Structure formats: C-alpha cells, structure tokens
Amino acid sequence: MKLRTIVLKVNPQYPEPEKIREAAKVIEAGGLVAFPTETVYGLGANALDLKAVLRIYEAKKRPPDNPVITHVAHKEDVYRLAREVPDDAEKLMDAFWPGPLTLLLKKARDVPRPGGLDEITIRMPANKIALALIAASKPIAAPSANLSGRPSPTTAEHVLQDLDGRIEMVLDGGPTEIGVESTVLDMTSKPYRILRPGGVTLEDLRRILRDVEVHPAALAKAPTDLAKAPGMKYRHYAPKAPMILVEGKPEDVVRKVKEIAKEHEGEVIGIMATEETAGSYDIGIVKVVGRRSEPRSIARNLFKTLREFDQLGVKLIIAEGMEEKGIGLAISNRLRKAAGYNIINATEGEKG
C-alpha cells in the first residue's frame, strides 16, 4: 500500500491544537502517526486497537515477536494497563516521568497485545507534542519510527527516509534532545534489571532504588537470544556500510583506528570521532559525533552521524568506543549493535 505521507510542522514549545487534533483523528481511525519524543521519533498507533498496532509492524517491517512500548500522558493510565504497580514503580515514576524511562510490568488482562504477551512496557515521554497527542488520543503504542534494523530517527527527515509512503502522517517538531531511546527496566521480579540502557542512567536509578542491575545482554558485548526483551536479539541501529567499533583507552583507540584506516587506504571510509580526537586523523571522512567531556552530546548525534555516513556512501565505518559510565552505557550498547558486534579492544589487543 502506497500512502501519501502528510508532514505537519508543529511548534515544539506550544503545539498547535488544530494540528494535534488532526493527528489524533488519524490515530483514532486506526492510522499511523510519527511524532517526536525527547529520545527519538516514535511511530504511533492506538495501543488498544490490535489491528492498528499490527500496522506498525507492517510499516516498519518489524519482526512480530518484538513488542512495542505503550506511551501514556497520565499516570492513571498505568493502573488500567498494568495489573500490578509495585511501590518501587511509583517511586520511579515520581522521580523520572515524564522522561526516558520505560517500565516493564505485568499486563492487565483486558489489554490486547500482539502475540498475547503477559507483560507490558509503559512510558510517559517528556515532549510537549508527544504528550498533547497522547492526551488527545488513547494510550499510544510506539516503537522508534525507523525501518526495522536501521538507526533510530532523531529528526522528521530521518523518519521520511525510511517510512515516506508507508504511514499517514509525521509531526515535525525538530531534532530530539536525548538521541538514544528510553531505558527499559524490568520490574516484574527482583533485582530489577535494565533490559535496554537509555536516557535514564543506571546511576540515576540507583539513586532512587538500590536493587537495580544491568541484564548481561543489555551490554551487547555479543549477540544473544537468551534475551528477556526480544528486541535484544536482533541486529539494530545498523548503517548500510559494515562498521568496526574500536574500544579501549582513548589513546589506544586513536592508534588502532589510524592503523585500520591505513589498511583501507584508497577506499571511501568514514571515521566516527570525537571533538577531542578528530584532529589525530588525516585519512578518511572524519565526522565529529560529540565531545567525550560531554557524553550527552555524543548520544544526541549518534544515529544522525550513522545516517550521514550512509548518505555519503562510505564503504566502511570505523567508530571510536566510548566510556561506559552514565549515558555512555547506552551509547556503547547502540554502537556495539550498530557494528554487528564487530568489536576490537585496542587496549587488550584482542577481539571480542
């Protein structure tokens, strides 16, 4: 089915009510609307309409066993969607909502889910356009608004690169702030486990609750299908060109990236560097993803930079690894998956 995708520019500070109403009508009718959140753009459908939710899978070409997140605008919706809301979940909602934290809870029996899952993931995004659209609709199911496997979209332009003609509408609210997706936390058993690191960090969560750990698969050091979150087993965030991720101490990383670049002299290669290191390279197309001293700037530009390399048609991307502290855990997770686990440790000099 080829659709004409309508693009509406929306004021991110004061979303125009008539535009929100227009988008809500599309959702109401079972259609698909891409909209900005503070993390990445989401592809929304009425979460309570199973047919509409299945259209998301079709538009994204998403594997049917990878469940989507339900977005709410009011905390009260959580009590309708989940059959148990632990006190600890209340504490996290109070601390981090609206914001980039998704809670995995036991699902209420009357909420439909593709595949009949017994659990549901819920989040309240911190973006005025998203909140206005959800408030004007019912809870909205929304994965990232990219074709399955591609880097997540952080602008309306990225959404169109993947989904033009496949969805009814895009709300263009400008670039997203955080740039990597929300943190997914499994609260169905203790210790609570991060299934996907994201905008709210492990350190942030531990300031509120002691009992939080990182699921080993969330580190994404190697492929796995023991994963609790089905999404963790797929290749994700992948640019078109093959990618090598070089991890280790920054000085070792720079040395190793240069060495690999040299081996590919004469080919069109891209180097994903940081402000601190970019000056060290004299071959390849060098792109600065952000500042090591301010890792949130790296998160913000990460997916955009991968898409830019694609558009330049590079044949290989060599990316510098980042420190795993704070938001760095989410950055490393995305880089490792984008590289298809093609990881070199420059400090230990070993592969893996």
Task: Catalog residues that contact ligand TXA under the rule CB under 6 A.
Answer: 37, 39-40, 42, 66-69, 100, 102, 104, 117, 119-121, 125, 142-144, 181-182, 184, 195-196, 229-231
Residue 183 in contact with Mg ion, rule: CB under 5 A: no
Smallest gap from Cβ 143 to Mg ion, in A, equals 5
> In this complex, which beta carbon is closest to Mg ion, that of residue 144 or of residue 277?
144
> In this complex, which beta carbon is closest to Mg ion, that of residue 144 or of residue 305?
144
> In this complex, which beta carbon is closest to ligand TXA, that of residue 69 or of residue 344?
69
**98 touches 78 (CB < 8 A):** no
> In this complex, which beta carbon is closest to ligand TXA, that of residue 26 or of residue 229?
229
> In this complex, which beta carbon is closest to ligand TXA, that of residue 144 or of residue 297?
144
Binding piece for Mg ion, criterion CB under 5 A, among 20-28, 136-144, 239-247, 314-322: 136-144
Smallest gap from Cβ 294 to ligand TXA, in A, equals 21
Residue 144 in contact with Mg ion, rule: CB under 5 A: yes
What is the C-alpha separation between 89 and 183, in angstroms, rounded?
14
Q: What stretches of 232-340 show up as alpha helix (H) in DSSP?
A: 250-263, 295-312, 328-338
> In this complex, which beta carbon is closest to ligand TXA, that of residue 139 or of residue 270?
139
Cα distances (angstroms) measured from residue 260 to each of 244, 271, 316, 343? 9, 10, 10, 13
Q: Which does 40 bind (CB under 5 to 8 A by kind): ligand TXA, Mg ion, none?
A: ligand TXA
Structure tokens at 52: 């509409």
Smallest gap from Cβ 177 to Mg ion, in A, equals 17
Give residues with Cβ within 8 angstroms of 345, minimum separation 6. 247, 248, 351, 352
Structure tokens at 330: 């989410």
Binding piece for Mg ion, criterion CB under 5 A, among 52-60, 112-120, 143-151, 291-299: 143-151
Q: Using DSSP, state whether 347 is helix, strand or coil.
A: coil
Structure tokens at 63: 């594997």
Radius of gyration in angstroms for the set of CA atoms belonging to the chain, rounded to a whole number: 20
Residue type at 214 in one-letter notation: V
**341 touches 221 (CB < 8 A):** yes
Number of residues near Mg ion (by CB under 5 A): 1
Whether the link from the prior residue into 153 is cis, omega within 30° of 0, is: no
CB atoms within 10 A of CB 1: 7
Q: Which does 72 bind (CB under 5 to 8 A by kind): Mg ion, ligand TXA, none?
A: none
> In this complex, which beta carbon is closest to ligand TXA, that of residue 234 or of residue 287?
234
Which residue is associated with the tokens 């560097």? 273
Residue 121 in contact with Mg ion, rule: CB under 5 A: no
* The 350-351 sheet, strands edge to edge: 285-288, 269-273, 316-320, 243-247, 343-345, 350-351
Q: Which does 176 bind (CB under 5 to 8 A by kind): ligand TXA, Mg ion, none?
A: none
Smallest gap from Cβ 231 to Mg ion, in A, equals 7
Torsional class of 195: left (φ above 0), alpha (ψ -120 to 50), beta (otherwise): alpha
Smallest gap from Cβ 35 to ligand TXA, in A, equals 8
Binding piece for Mg ion, criterion CB under 5 A, among 13-21, 141-149, 164-172, 240-248: 141-149
Structure tokens at 294: 């301010």
Smallest gap from Cβ 61 to Mg ion, in A, equals 12
Residue 148 in contact with Mg ion, rule: CB under 5 A: no
**125 touches 140 (CB < 8 A):** no
Task: Tell me which residue has its CB nearest to ligand TXA.
Answer: 231
> In this complex, which beta carbon is closest to ligand TXA, that of residue 184 or of residue 244?
184
Q: What residue ranges bind Mg ion (CB under 5 A)?
A: 144
